[in-house]
């Protein structure tokens, strides 16, 4: 019987040891599963951020490519429009100047052809294959036809030339520019990013190109009549007046549509040059010639003189156009670089988060849970010894037990410290370090358990005035700095026993026990002045950031909801005063 009993005890002990080993292995597997779940959670949170940042970067890169393509194409359209000046000189110059004007025309055409070739290559390189194809199929034939008519007129003997033939040649060059402008319009129509923040620049580029050409047409429309010293035909007169009106209309649109961040001192200077050089002088020259025609007086100048008088005015338009084109490219490039930085930051943030989580879990498994499992197994073995035949062995087991208990106590203290740190992190706002809404909920639960509840509680609701304008004007980095500065001012203005909570994006709560309303209003006023006196707004780069707060205070209520509602109403009254004020 004793033998059987010993065997049963031994078998029972073996089962317990096997069960314990299986349980320990199960715990280890659960730790690995927990690590995997946390890593997957970080990925699920971080990957959408990376994808969103990548999409923004891709869109900004496409917008930059489109703006650069429009800039290149705009330069070509300007070059084509300006070809009318040497063409007009070749057609209207005196016989003794014919060779000089023809040589200047041919030289200018070489420049246009070179620019055309480089434009086609650039468009193909940027992926704008349709625009490059339209240039070759539509614009090049129209340009060749216009040049052929100009050359045919220039080759016609002077006595056989007619005003009608010259007008047809000028009109043919108009058609060449129209074909090039159509390519630009199609490029803007097909642009995928024209609805983004740079949309105004797409419109501006088209307007400036149209403005440059319309300015030239206003003179070209009367060029045949001036050259032949005849009255301006009704059709040409109407076209000239229409283009002048169109030019002035486009000029007003440029001033309206131009983004304010690009209206610098340089822009204002160039803007005034166009006004004085072209609108005050150039259009006056055309108006005087039209008046000469209407009153049957001899024209004040010849065709080449008209061309020369308009060149300086056109130069001011081109200077302004080039400045705005460069500004649009700089803005697009800046948007792309910002999007690129955000993408890099998103990737780094996710990688750092994954690394932190992984290292934390590995540390916890190796230095917290691992020793606990090991101590558990040692304690279990000591509690169920296999034999007690040797006093020495029993002594070693006793020592192992005390060692295991000591290690267990040490790891429990470490675990409590880790839990305290995690709880502190969970109840603190990551940006400002003050309490968050989780901490507020715990505090409200404690107050609800007291008999007086919220009868002796003061609540001050604080809101940053016009905070959205700070973010919109200066960016979220400055906005975060403002929130941190306000939080520091709040910390310095209240007692350590008072609860400071970041309740929303730019809203804070201060809860104070056993205080009168008069004293609460003094604290709120102290906070308001501290925010205004913050040294943040004296630092370099923050001089233009003007921030104030409004605060509403309430003391005592039947419930938390009622207390919060009273404080909110007080805040609304403070806002109604014009902000930067305190109300009860």
Q: Could you tell me which residues come within 8 angstroms of residue 285 by beta carbon, excluding any fewer than 6 positions away?
A: 219, 301, 306, 309, 310
Identify the bridge partners of residue 502 per DSSP, sorted by sequence position. 508
Higher model confidence: residue 360 or residue 8?
A: 360
508-513-516 Cα angle (round to 5): 95
pTM of the model: 0.53
**532-546 average pLDDT score:** 72
Q: Is 230 helix (H, G, I), strand (E, B) or coil?
A: coil
pLDDT at residue 192 greater than cutoff 60: yes
Written as one string, the DSSP assignment of 367-409 is IIIHHHHHHHHHHHHHHS-S----HHHHHHHHHHHHHHHHHHH
Q: What is the pLDDT of residue 538?
A: 67
Q: What is the pLDDT of residue 396?
A: 45
How many CA atoms does the CB half-sphere of 477 hold within 13 Å? 4
Over 441-475, what HEC string results?
HHHHHHHHHCCCCCCCEEEEEEEECCHHHHHHHHC
Q: What is the pLDDT of residue 391?
A: 46
Report the range out of 366-380, 398-412, 418-432, 490-504 with the highest average pLDDT.
490-504
Asked whether the beta carbons of 166 and 224 are under 8 A apart, the reply is yes
Cα torsion at 325, 327, 330, 334 (round to 10°)? -130
Q: How confident is the model at residue 375 (pLDDT cuts 50, 70, 90)?
A: low
Q: How confident is the model at residue 381 (pLDDT cuts 50, 70, 90)?
A: low
Report the range out of 134-148, 263-277, 521-535 with the highest average pLDDT.
134-148
Q: What is the pLDDT of residue 428?
A: 80
DSSP state of 365: I
Span of 331-345, 383-397, 445-459, 537-551 with lowest mean pLDDT: 383-397
Higher model confidence: residue 420 or residue 54?
A: 54
Q: What is the pLDDT of residue 387?
A: 44
**79-107 average pLDDT score:** 88
Share of the chain residues as helix, strand and coil, in percent rounded to the nearest 5: 80, 5, 15
Asked whether the beta carbons of 241 and 222 are under 8 A apart, the reply is no
C-alpha span between 582 and 218 (Å, rounded): 63
Asked whether the beta carbons of 193 and 57 are under 8 A apart, the reply is no
pLDDT, one tens digit per residue, over 123-179 is 999 888 998 999 999 999 999 999 999 999 889 998 898 989 988 988 898 898 889
Higher model confidence: residue 538 or residue 63?
A: 63
Average pLDDT score over the chain: 80
**493-517 average pLDDT score:** 88
> Which tokens is 253 given?
């649109």
C-alpha span between 226 and 563 (Å, rounded): 85
Q: What is the pLDDT of residue 572?
A: 92
pLDDT at residue 466 greater than cutoff 80: yes
> Which tokens is 352 given?
């750092």
DSSP state of 503: -
Higher model confidence: residue 469 or residue 202?
A: 469
Comparing CA positions, the residue from 130, 133, 135 lying closest to residue 73 is: 135
Asked whether the beta carbons of 79 and 112 are under 8 A apart, the reply is yes
**311-315 average pLDDT score:** 72
Q: What is the pLDDT of residue 393?
A: 46
């Amino acid at each position: 019987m004793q033998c059987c009993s010993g065997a049963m005890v031994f078998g029972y002990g073996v089962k317990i040891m096997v069960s314990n080993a299986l349980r320990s292995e199960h715990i280890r597997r659960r730790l690995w599963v927990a690590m995997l779940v946390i890593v997957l959670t970080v990925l699920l949170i971080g990957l959408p951020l990376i994808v969103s940042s990548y999409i923004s970067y891709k869109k900004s890169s496409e917008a930059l490519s489109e703006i650069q393509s429009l800039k290149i194409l705009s330069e070509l359209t300007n070059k084509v429009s300006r070809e009318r000046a040497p063409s007009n000189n070749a057609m209207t110059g005196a016989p003794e100047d014919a060779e000089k004007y023809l040589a200047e025309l041919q030289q200018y055409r070489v420049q246009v052809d070179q620019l055309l070739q480089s434009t086609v290559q650039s468009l193909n390189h940027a992926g704008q294959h349709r625009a490059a194809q339209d240039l070759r199929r539509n614009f090049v034939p129209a340009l060749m036809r216009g040049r052929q008519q100009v050359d045919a007129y220039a080759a016609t003997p002077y006595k056989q030339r007619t005003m009608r033939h010259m007008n047809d040649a000028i009109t043919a060059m108009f058609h060449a520019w129209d074909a090039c402008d159509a390519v630009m319009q199609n490029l803007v129509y097909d642009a995928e990013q024209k609805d983004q923040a740079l949309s105004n620049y797409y419109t501006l580029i088209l307007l400036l190109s149209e403005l440059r050409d319309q300015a030239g047409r206003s003179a070209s429309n009367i060029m045949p009549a001036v050259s032949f010293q005849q009255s301006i035909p009704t059709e040409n007169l109407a076209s000239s007046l229409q283009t002048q009106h169109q030019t002035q209309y486009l000029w007003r649109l440029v001033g309206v549509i131009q983004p304010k961040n690009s209206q610098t001192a340089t822009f204002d200077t160039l803007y005034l040059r166009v006004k004085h050089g072209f609108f005050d002088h150039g259009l006056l020259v055309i108006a005087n010639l039209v008046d000469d025609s209407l009153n049957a007086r001899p024209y004040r100048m010849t065709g080449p003189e008209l061309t020369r008088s308009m060149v300086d005015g056109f130069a001011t338009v081109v200077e302004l156009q080039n400045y705005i084109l460069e500004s649009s490219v700089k803005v697009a490039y800046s948007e792309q670089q910002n999007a690129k930085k955000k993408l890099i930051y998103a990737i780094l943030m996710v990688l750092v988060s994954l690394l932190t989580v992984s290292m934390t879990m590995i540390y916890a498994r190796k230095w917290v849970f691992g020793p606990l499992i090991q101590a558990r197994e040692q304690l279990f073995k000591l509690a169920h010894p296999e034999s007690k035949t040797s006093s020495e062995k029993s002594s070693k087991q006793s020592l192992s037990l005390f060692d295991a208990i000591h290690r267990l106590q040490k790891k429990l203290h470490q675990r409590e410290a880790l839990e305290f740190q995690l709880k502190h992190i969970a109840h603190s706002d990551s940006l400002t370090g003050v309490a968050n809404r989780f901490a507020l909920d715990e505090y409200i639960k404690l107050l609800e358990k007291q008999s007086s509840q919220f009868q002796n509680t003061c609540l001050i609701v604080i809101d940053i005035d016009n905070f959205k304008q700070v973010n919109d004007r200066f960016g979220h980095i400055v906005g975060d700095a403002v929130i941190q500065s306000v939080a520091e001012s709040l910390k310095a203005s209240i007692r350590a026993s008072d609860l400071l909570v970041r309740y929303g994006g730019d809203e804070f709560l201060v809860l104070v026990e056993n205080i009168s309303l008069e004293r609460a209003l003094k604290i709120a006023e102290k906070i308001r002045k501290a925010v205004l006196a913050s040294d943040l707004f004296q630092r370099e780069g923050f001089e233009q950031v003007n921030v104030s707060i409004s605060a509403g205070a309430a003391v005592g209520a039947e419930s938390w909801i009622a207390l919060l509602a009273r404080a909110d109403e007080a805040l609304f009254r403070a806002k109604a005063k014009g902000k930067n004020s305190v109300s009860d």
